[in-house]
Chains A and B, each alone.
Chain A
Amino acid sequence: MSDPKMKFLVVDDFSTMRRIVRNLLKELGFTNVDEAEDGVIALQKLKSSEFDFVVTDWNMPNMTGIELLRAIRADAALKALPVLMITAEAKKENIIEAAQAGASGYIVKPFTAGTMSEKLNKIFEKMNQKAA
């Protein structure tokens, strides 16, 4: 499942952060990465072209990461899409909220390529189980 051709969408309003995530993904061998500045743009991109994985920040203007997550889960065409939430907080209520909204995983800033890899593998494993 962890096909290096997988297409990622990285959503964050802070371009430095998008670049960090993009670099980490590249480090892990994923080079097919597109970016979006907020949930609204992300949703547009998701609807207009095929993506295999969404990595989104939580706090963003216009449409937050959690709103994006809910919108994805509510959309018949997108609801199976894995979504990894990134946030600066490990607050209990945030994690519960993400879990309830159907996040595939949760990662706390700052993180390393190693942490990210573990998170991604966890999600891939689960997706494979489902597929099997």
Chain B
Amino acid sequence: MSDFQGMEDLLQDFLVEATDLLSGVDNKLVDLEKTPGDRGLLNEIFRGFHTIKGGAGFLNAAELVALCHLTENLFDKLRNGEMNVTPVLMDVILDATGIVRDMFGALERGMQPSAADPGVMARLRAALAGELTAEPAKVAAPAAPVAKPVATAASAPVGAEPDWVSLHQAVTGVVPSAPQAVPEPAAARSANDGEVAAVVNAAFGRRAGDRPGTPAPTGRRDAEKGRDNSIRVDTSRLDQVLNLSGEIGLTKNRLTSLRADILAGKSDSDTLHALDAAVSQLDLLVSDLQNAVMKTRMQPIGRLFQKYPRIARDLARNLGKDVELALVGEETEIDKTMIEDLSDPIIHLIRNAVDHGVETPDERMAQGKSGKSVVRLEARQEGDHIVIMVADDGRGMNAERLRAKALEKGLITDEEANTLDERASLNLVFLPGFSTAATVSDVSGRGVGMDVVKTNIQKLNGSIEIRSVQGKGTTFVISLPLTLAILPVLLVRLAEQHFAVPLSMVREILPIQQEDIQEVGGRATMVVRGEVMPVLPLARLLGWPQKNHPQYGVLMQSAESSFILAIDNFAGREDAVIKSLDDFRPKGVAGVTTLSNGQIVLILDMKELLGSMGDTRGVSRSSLLGNVARAA
């Protein structure tokens, strides 16, 4: 049962906003380490904790309030120049920030956070008293205030009651007739928790209570779903949507009246002209509306990037490395659902860069590099794609070593190892069970990361590639479609039926000449610029009889392999609006889309089609070319 019944809405708002705020604070802390005296930074961090504390108070999250209160006081002293930022102090602050994050976690699960680690609280108090030593353990035990209940410590106002009363008089100019006429903040706060909760419930639980007999939403599950599915949209963007739908309504009215005219037999050139103009306008408005609606789903990727500098810093410190994470292109906008799904893959890539990519300062110095390394996390839009790069300036990847490792682990055969070129060798890291770290560290190197990264990126219809120069560094390049709602497809034809295949997999289209088809190991193959590719007829994948000799091949690149999809013809590319088939989903069909002429086209899920075939190595030349080949 949730500790926040009736307050779910407030809690969600708070968590969304405060989590953003905390990420900002985390980043500023990383900056603060570089410029310890920056008053502006200190002020902003102070305000961050202050704001979180204020919100937490309304949620009755006493432990969170207590922790933020201490941290905030510390920053108050720092920003006023009463204290200076020291590495020991930094550690305490970072620990405190970590606990705040944990507490958010508890809140997310619908639980009041439990008390912060008393050691950290004690160190915060010691720091406030100017007694923080390099060895926190010594301070922890004797610190007196720990024994005090945290909640009261946090909310104890500096000014006691009499001061408040007289000050209130000073403020309002009214002499209260009775002392209780002046609401005491201390009294209000010391009110019994249940009472406060009841009042807050009454204030915020309205929505659930509006309909009598409807119980308030129970459990966190519902609330959590709500949070995941909610989105913050700039009101100006919503206004644009509203505006456009209004315009479309007007144009619809125009068309309705034109239809009446035309049905009444009026078809002079003026009427037809007006019809033409109205349809063109509708065309424009609808595409504008689509764009506007799409934009409401777009969020700056900076929201995601924010949390990484801290992760990189902590990791680098643990490993004794000096790493700066540079963020570029934070304003790049990306579909909200993708932001969430990208979070873990990017963490993996950054961990990899810091752990494996970057050398220790000594190694770097020995090679004439600067001791501090820079890992760049960059996002930008390229046409209808978003490109995200994680680039380090470390040691680069050694293709030879990767091959040897894969061989040793039995992930590839001797024969395969010999045929792998540089790029293919780098891609070995995406194989499940691959890990090159000589020793398994607790941060990366369990070999579970990279293949998961690749799978997750592919789920988003994206791709990932590696560029690496030995001694200079490694760059992982993720390429993603702008949105998942619209899929650029290539329309291919088999007999009289059209099918759509995701354009992201298509590399090129080639004509298939009979003499180009060669049989290798009993399979039909084609050599494309020196590379041998299996030829898979679409008819075979669909389980159709092969009637004609396929005229064209579409060179497709999927996760595991490249192959040529043999088809009868192709009809061009189209931006398909995907309609999913909810209840009925044939194998190998990702969804359907409607062409401009009203024809319904199946969008093929190539991966599933290939999987259903079992053996993806292809068919024999004769079965591909059939009678045609024999006749030749």
Residues of A within 8 A of B (CB): 13-17, 19-20, 23-24, 27, 57, 59-61, 88-92, 95-96, 98-99, 103-115, 118-119, 122-123, 125-126
Contact = CB atoms under 8 A, between A and B. Distances in A.
A113 B10 CA distance: 15
23 contacts: A14-B21, A14-B51, A15-B13, A16-B13, A16-B17, A17-B55, A20-B204, A23-B204, A27-B203, A59-B47, A88-B54, A88-B57, A89-B157, A89-B158, A92-B159, A92-B167, A99-B167, A108-B188, A110-B57, A110-B58, A111-B188, A112-B188, A113-B199
B50 interface: yes
A131 B185 CA distance: 29
Interface in B178-232: 183, 185-186, 188-189, 196, 199-200, 202-204, 206
Contacts of B204: 20, 23
Given A16-B13, A90-B185, A108 B203 contact: no
A128 B343 CA distance: 57
Contacts of B58: 17, 20, 109-110
Interface residues of B, number: 40
Interface string B6-36: 0000100110011001000000000000000
Given A99-B171, A126-B173, 17 more contacts: A14-B21, A14-B54, A15-B13, A23-B203, A57-B54, A88-B57, A89-B158, A91-B157, A91-B159, A110-B57, A110-B60, A111-B185, A112-B196, A112-B200, A113-B199, A113-B202, A118-B183
Contacts of A99: 167, 170-171
B164 interface: yes
Q: Which of A13, A91, A95 has the most CB of B within 10 A?
A: A95
B17 A88 contact: no
Given A59-B50, A109-B57, A115 B203 contact: no
A50 to B, nearest CB: 22
Contacts of B17: 14-16
B186 A90 contact: yes
A113 B51 CA distance: 20
A13 B55 CA distance: 12
B499 to A, nearest CB: 48
B10 A16 contact: yes
Contacts of A59: 47, 50-51
Contact of B164 (A90, A118, A126): A90
Interface in B152-178: 157-159, 163-164, 167-168, 170-174
